Structure formats: structure tokens, C-alpha cells
Structure 1
Amino acid sequence: MIFTNVSWRLAEGEEVEYTPVGFGGRVAVREVQVRADRYPVFNLMDRAVKQTGLTRPTINAIFRRMRDDQKQRLLENPEGFATVFIGEVRSALADHVTARLEFLPDEGAPPYDLGEIFPPKRSFPQKELLEAGPRGLYNLVQKDSDVEKHYVDAIRQEGDAIVFYFKFPPGFKVHLPAIIGNYNPDWGVARVDRAGRTEVRTFVHETKGTTELSKLQFPNERRKILCAQKFFAVIGVTYLTIDPKKVSGWWEPVTEQSQIE
């Protein structure tokens, strides 16, 4: 009977060789260098095309313009690189779309069923309710934060200058491109303007606790607000992001809108 040496791989980077007892009986362990180019197959291009909606040549052109040391990270950590790469491409694309998006008035049928969005009776979580006062569209109004509580207090102090106000229900959406996401505004207000003549003016308010869009926590919040400025301007409604602690003067005409920085 003929015996030969036997070797096997226990783990990546380690190899064990065994010699039968009749031939000295020894076990030798040696380290094996792993080739640096042995990586799992990972199709970045297909994944980026699917998640951004851009064409393969566009994604390829973006990748080719990256520095060599940045491209090397794809080999070192494919999943991590793809997450960051696609996220940055989507963010740049969303800013591009936001800056160039335009709205046109549509004389067709209303896109919403007002009876469904504003039913005669509504139910709310009991713990989040505030008294709306005599000018509320409903006798109670839902608040989701202390910022909104300050807003309701400020609106109620306006007295009979307010014709009515309400919080937009979740079913009301300003439809925007998917890369940005649909927008649900915060508040609708009708106020009497007594400057020279009595005129009811309509407003949509966004209450974020700051009027500086660059300080918002999520980039898409800023993008949605910038799109909403354009949308409501087309239909003749004054749209404002306001600080509830500094409400005085919010009904004054607005001449400028914030731009993407």
C-alpha cells in the first residue's frame, strides 16, 4: 500500500499538511497568502441604475470621474461603497430636479375629493388634541409637537382676523417626483386683510421650528418646501415657513423665496 502526503484547507489563509504515521507522522501548519483580487461578484452599475433611474452610461460616467483611491473602496467594501455612492448620486439628482421643477395650472377636475379629505367628523388620538377655538375648521386640532402647539396658540391670538384654519390631513398630498417624495403641508389659514379694504387671503404654513432651510434635519424636507413654494405660487396661495414664536407679520406680502444653497 502506498501512502502520500495529504493537505487540506481549514480556513482562508491557513493550510494543514499531514504525513501518515508510517512515514514519520507529522502535522505541519503553514500560512497561505490570500490573493488581493479575490472579491465577490458585485454589480454596482445595475444596482445604481435601478435605484436612481439614471442610465448605465450616466452612472458609468459618474464613476469614471472619481479618484482612483475612491474607486479602490469598491473592492475593499462593495456594499458600503454602493450605499454611499448611490446615496450621493440620488441626493445630487434630487437637488437637480428640485431646482428645475416647474408647475403649470390644470383646469381639469379637482384632484381631491374634499368631502373625503375633510369629512364632517374626524377622529384623532386623544393625547394629541388641542382646542381649536371658534375659528378652527374642527373644534379640535391634532398637534404632533410643541412647535405646533405654539402655532395654534399664536393663531388663536389673532382673534376675528382669522376666518378659519385647519391642519392638512395626511390624505392631502402635493405630488412630486419620486426622488423627492410627495409633500403633506402643515396648515391652511384664511385671514382677513384690512389694509385699505377687506379681503380674505389664503395661506399655507409650514411649521418646522426654524425658517432657515439649511438647518432642517433632513435634506428632503428642504427640497419639499422649495417645491411647495413653486406649487402654491402657481395656484395663488401664499406659502410660508414660519417660526411660531415669531408669528407677528406672517400675513405681510412675501417678495423672495429661499433657494437651494
Structure 2
Amino acid sequence: MPEYTTWVLYCLMGLGLAWLGAAGLLLRLQGSIKGSKWLIVCWVVWPLCLLDEAALLAGGEWIMLYGWTDWVPVLLMTLFYRALKPSLVAQVKPSKWALWLPVSLCFLMQLPLALGGLAEKQVLTAGGPIGHPLDFWPVYSIAMLVCFGVLVLSLLITETVQKYHKHLPEQVANPQQYRLRYIVIAMSAIAGISVILTLLVTAVTFGFLSVLMWQSGLDLVLAIVMLTVLYLLLIPQRTAPSLLDYEQLDAPHTEQAMLRETVDKAEQVMQESQAYREQPNRHTQHI
């Protein structure tokens, strides 16, 4: 067995065990995690990140499965955003079409590579293409688009969490107890990794760097990143889903009536919650 095949096999085995460990945590903590149904979908989808490497190890006609699932990391980032939203917003609205646009573009860009013939895919998997952007444009284009899509969605998740933290003092008396930990740091790291991977693919595309098996490295890095985010979202955290409409509050020309209505609703719910907590104390004093 070639040396590069050996280390890829070990990586797949280690990631497979980590994936099974995530299943155990998900089953154990499912009831205490908001958005758990989206995380279940993420867990089911994640192995597709490694389908290319599994096809390379199997060889033969299994090579035809190569080039079908490069877009999966972008899908996972979209699902992570949906899984995180119930922890931040009390009333989650249906997703806008723009949220699924990166996934759709990546899927469409994947088709030229996925529908290639066996001989063509055998050439692509023999160490990975280097240079010749016009000849191997399906490989380079989908790799760049996936890295860019992961970058955009990581920034979207970061912005959403920062808005939640910004308006948290308007929701609770002690905001520090309800801050969402780890996510902003993780998404910032993912954004940095995405930029580095984009530069790497660009350098390989135009022949500035000669990196053998760069596609396997890209797949493994993205798979590790996606599995890490899944584990982070499985950590139970205490949050206070916002009753406020961030888009209305942050709009530069928001109507005062809409703002007043939103704040009044928030105050009403907080007063009702306070009255509910005081009922046992009154009952005790009466006794």
C-alpha cells in the first residue's frame, strides 16, 4: 500500500471513530439542545465529506463516485446556521432563499466534475492536477467556490452571534450568563482557514505551488473543521433567545412605531416572567 494511501486510511479511521462518538453525544444530549433535528441531519450528512477519499482507497470502478460531494461542507455550514438559530431567536422565521444560494451554486458547479468519465477521473486522482487551469477547471472551480462558500457562511454565523450578544443586555439582567461561548472564535478560525485554502488552491491552479494530493488534504481539513463545529454545537449552553427583531433594530431607517412595538412585547414578556417567579413567594408569605 502506498505511503500516502496509508496515512489517508488512518485519517479516515480516526475521523470515523470521532463521528461515532458524536452520535453518542447527540443521543445523550438531544433533549437539552435546541435545533437538535438540524444537528441530526448534519451528523448524517457529514460522512459525505470523505466520499472522495473512500472512493480513492477502494479503487476500480468506485472511482466513479469521485467528485460528487465536494459541495457538502457548504451544505453543513448552512445546516449549522439553522441549528444555531433557535438558540438565538425566539421566533425562527423560514429560511430566505439567499441562505441556500451558496449550496445551490456549489452543487451546480459540481456537476461537470461529477459527470466525468472513469478515464478522466483516474487522471484527476493520480496525484491531483497541478496547473493547466483550462484543462482542469472543473476541479479548481469547485474547490475555490467551496472554500469561498465556507468563508461567507462562517462570517454570517459570526455576525448573527454578535448581534445576539449586542442586544443581550436588552433581554436579561446578567448578559454574561447567557453569552454563547466558543462559536465566534471557531467561526473566526474557520474564516481564516478558508482564506488560506483559497490561496492554496489558487497557487496550485496557476502552477505556483506543486503540492501532490492537495485535494485529499483539502477534503480532510474541511471534514475535520465540520466535525469540530458539530461537537461545539453539541455542547449545551444557556442562552436567552431574543424577542427582538435584529433586522428592525439595526436598520438605519427603522420606523419608530415598529421599534416601540417590538420593545413593548419584550417588556410584557419579561413582566409576565417576573410575576410568575414571584407567585411562590407570595403563596409562602400567605401561609
TM-score range, shorter chain: under 0.3
Larger Rg: 1
Bigger share in helix? 2
Q: Using CA pairs below 8 Å that are at least 6 residues apart, which structure has the higher relative contact order?
A: 2
Greater strand content: 1
**TM-score, normalised via structure 1 length:** 0.24
